């Protein structure tokens, strides 16, 4: 799980344009300025591209905190192998 968070960090920093941003599994849309619907789309697109996966509409709406996103990534990645 920590590897996924490590990979997510530069994506979050790039999307939300904050080089000092730190994330944990508890980080949610409430904690990051700019993580609104537009930011969420840009984040999801970047995460999908980086990990080579695709989220469904429901998954996209549920992935509103880092923990949920990490969990989804792990499930999707495990299905790839």
Partner 1 sequence: MKELIEKYGILVSSRLFTINDQRKFSEFSGDFNPIHIDKILARKTIVGERIVHGIHGLMWSLNEFFKNDTLVVNFFNAKFHKPITLDSPVFLFWNSQKKKLTIANESTLFTTITINFGNIENNNKKFDIKLGYKLTEPKNLSIKECDELGNQEIIYRGNVNVGQLLFPELFKIYGSGVIAEIALTSEIVGMQMPGLHSLFISIVGSIFDSSEDSIFRLEDYDLRFGVLKIKMQGKHLKSQIEALNVASSTAVPSVKHLKKFINLNEFKYVDALVIGGSRGLGELTAKLISCGGGRVTISYNLGEADAKNVQKEILASGLSCAVTQLDITSSFIFPLGNFNQIYYFPTPKIKIERNVYFDYQLTELYKKYYVDGFKSLVSEVLNRKILASIFYPSTNLIDYPSKNFSSYIKAKAEGENLCQQFNKLKNMRIFFPRLPRVATDQTLSVTPMHFHDAIEVMLPHIRNISHDLYI
The C-alpha R_g of the chain, in whole angstroms, comes to 12
Of 1 and 24, CB closest to partner 1 = 24
* Cα dihedral: 73, 8, 14, 50 (round 10): -50
CA dist 22 to 12, 27, 61, Å? Answer: 9, 9, 22
Q: Give me the least distance between CB of 63 and partner 1, in Å please.
A: 10
74 token code pair: 């792990």
Q: Give me the least distance between CB of 17 and partner 1, in Å please.
A: 4
Of 62 and 71, CB closest to partner 1 = 62
Rounded CA gap, 53 and 26, in Å?
A: 22
Of 5 and 35, CB closest to partner 1 = 35
Return residues touching partner 1 (CB under 8 A).
16-17, 19, 29-42, 44-45, 57, 60-61
Q: Give me the least distance between CB of 21 and partner 1, in Å please.
A: 12
């Amino acid at each position: 799980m920590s590897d996924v968070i490590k990979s997510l960090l530069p994506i979050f920093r790039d999307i939300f344009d904050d080089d000092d941003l730190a994330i944990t599994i508890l980080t949610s849309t409430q904690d990051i300025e700019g993580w609104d619907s537009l930011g969420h789309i840009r984040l999801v697109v970047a995460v999908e591209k980086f990990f080579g996966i695709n989220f469904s509409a429901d998954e996209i709406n549920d992935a509103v905190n880092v923990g949920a996103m990490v969990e989804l990534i792990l499930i999707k990645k495990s299905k790839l192998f």
